[in-house]
Amino acid sequence: MKPSRPDAKPLSSHALSTGGVKSATAIALLVVLVAAAAVCSLMFGVRSISASDALGALTGSTSTAAEAAAAVRIPRTALAMSVGAALAAAGTTLQAVTRNPLADPGIFGILAGAALAVSVSMAFTGMSRPAPTMAVAIVGAFAAAAFVYAVGSLGRGGATPLKLALSGAATAAALSSLTNAVILPREDVMDRFRFWQIGSVGGAEWSTLAAAAPLLVTGAVIVWLSASGLNALALGDEAAAGLGVPVGRTRLLAVVGAVILCGTAVAVAGPIGFIGLIVPHTLRLLLGTDHTLLVPASFLGGAVILTAADTLGRVVGRPSEIAVGIITPLLGAPLFIWLAKRAKGGGL
Residue 72 in this model has a pLDDT that exceeds 90: no
Average confidence score pLDDT of the chain: 84
Phi, psi (deg, nearest 5) at residue 321: -155, 155
Instruction: Let me know: does 206 contact 77? Beta carbons within 8 Å.
Output: no
For 113-151, give the DSSP string.
HHHHHHHHHHHHH----HHHHHHHHHHHHHHHHHHHHHH
pLDDT-derived band at 17, boundaries 50, 70, 90? low
Residue 343 in this model has a pLDDT that exceeds 80: no
Residue 18 in this model has a pLDDT that exceeds 60: no
Across 4-8, 134-138, 191-195, the highest mean pLDDT is recorded for: 134-138
Q: How many residues does the chain have?
A: 348
- Separation between Cα atoms, residue 310 and residue 325, nearest integer Å: 9
- Separation between Cα atoms, residue 295 and residue 316, nearest integer Å: 31
- Separation between Cα atoms, residue 110 and residue 173, nearest integer Å: 11
Domain 83-342, CATH: 1.10.3470.10
Residue 16 in this model has a pLDDT that exceeds 70: no
> Tell me, what's the pLDDT at 161?
75
Sequence-ordered list of residues with C-beta below 8 angstroms from that of 239, at least 6 positions apart, any chain: 232
Residue 341 in this model has a pLDDT that exceeds 80: no
For 31-92, give the DSSP string.
HHHHHHHHHHHHH-SSS---HHHHHHHHHT--SHHHHHIIIIIHHHHHHHHHHHHHHHHHHH
How many CA atoms, within 13 angstroms, populate the side-chain half-sphere of residue 311?
Answer: 22
Question: pLDDT tens digits, residue range 37-64?
Answer: 999 998 888 788 877 777 777 777 667 7
Instruction: Let me know: does 254 contact 184? Beta carbons within 8 Å.
Output: no
Sequence spans of domains, the chain: 83-342
- Separation between Cα atoms, residue 162 and residue 145, nearest integer Å: 15
Residue 345 in this model has a pLDDT that exceeds 60: no
Question: pLDDT tens digits, residue range 216-231?
Answer: 999 999 999 999 888 8
* C-alpha of 345 from chain center: 26
- Separation between Cα atoms, residue 280 and residue 223, nearest integer Å: 14
pLDDT-derived band at 8, boundaries 50, 70, 90? very low
Say how many Å lie between the first and final Cα of the chain, rounded. Answer: 40
Q: What is the 3-state secondary structure (H, E, C) of 307-326?
A: HHHHHHHHHHCCCCCCCHHH
pLDDT-derived band at 78, boundaries 50, 70, 90? very high
Question: pLDDT tens digits, residue range 86-115?
Answer: 999 999 999 998 888 778 888 888 999 999
> Tell me, what's the pLDDT at 4?
44
- Separation between Cα atoms, residue 94 and residue 96, nearest integer Å: 5
% of residues, the chain, pLDDT over 70: 91
pLDDT-derived band at 5, boundaries 50, 70, 90? very low
The CA angle 295-298-300, to the nearest 5 degrees, is 120
Question: Is omega for the bond preceding 329 within 30 degrees of 0, making it cis?
Answer: no
- Separation between Cα atoms, residue 41 and residue 311, nearest integer Å: 5
Question: pLDDT tens digits, residue range 160-216?
Answer: 777 888 898 899 999 999 998 888 887 777 777 777 888 889 888 899 999 999 999
